[in-house]
Amino acid sequence: MSRVGKKPIPLPQGVSITIGENLQVKGPKGTLLVPIPKGVEARENGRVLEFVRGNDKQAALHGLARALAANAVHGVSTGFTQEMDIVGIGYRADLKGRVAIFTLGYSHVVEFLLPDGVDMKIDKQTHLVLTSHDRQLLGQTSANIRSLRPPDPYKNKGVRYTGEVLRKKAGKSGASAAK
């Protein structure tokens, strides 16, 4: 049984919260709204945020609400980062304003509009660094960029997360291809 919901969330300097129907978290990086489910109550004790559930039927929602609030507090105070690599000959990326332009081996370039709240930095045309204060938005944006050219299991080319381990498949054997 998980006890995530019972862990208190320390509030860093510069982060303020407003408890209502939703939990509003303000910090130096931005503002986020976290929904509080029915049966779960948020309380502020000094510089600590705690969540209390009404009964054991809300155990899963208790942990979920606490995790979402912890992500919001971390996001507005320090932010989140996602790094990606583009692997392949001739594959590269360029940034013009809020539009990322990818050359990924297609007959055309792919333009990707970055959503508000997500910033991108490109190093050496093949290393992307995405930053945001919203963890969910950052993860969805990086997944959308990865889906432009997912890593190929035969040649290991494509867009991948930095540090992602890929299993390379063997190609066709020479004996069966000659028939």
- 30-58 pLDDT, tens digit per residue, is 899 999 988 888 888 888 988 888 888 88
> Which domains does the chain show, CATH number per domain?
4-77 (3.90.930.12), 80-161 (3.90.930.12)
Q: What is 34-60 written as a DSSP string? A: EE--TTEEEEEETTEEEEEESSGGGHH
Q: Give the span between the Cα atoms of 96 and 129, in whole angstroms.
A: 15
Residue with tokens 């790094």: 83
3-state secondary structure of 24: strand
The predicted structure's pLDDT at residue 175: 58
pLDDT in tens, 86-100: 988 989 999 999 999
- pLDDT class of 2 with cuts at 50, 70, 90: low
Q: pLDDT tens digits for 68-77?
A: 999 999 999 9
Specify the pLDDT at position 167. 82
Contact status, residue 51 vs residue 41, Cβ threshold 8 Å:
yes
For residue 86, how many other CB atoms are within 10 A of its CB? 23
pTM for this model (two decimals):
0.83
Could you tell me how far CA 28 lies from the centroid of its own chain? 19
Residue 1 has pLDDT above 80, yes or no: no
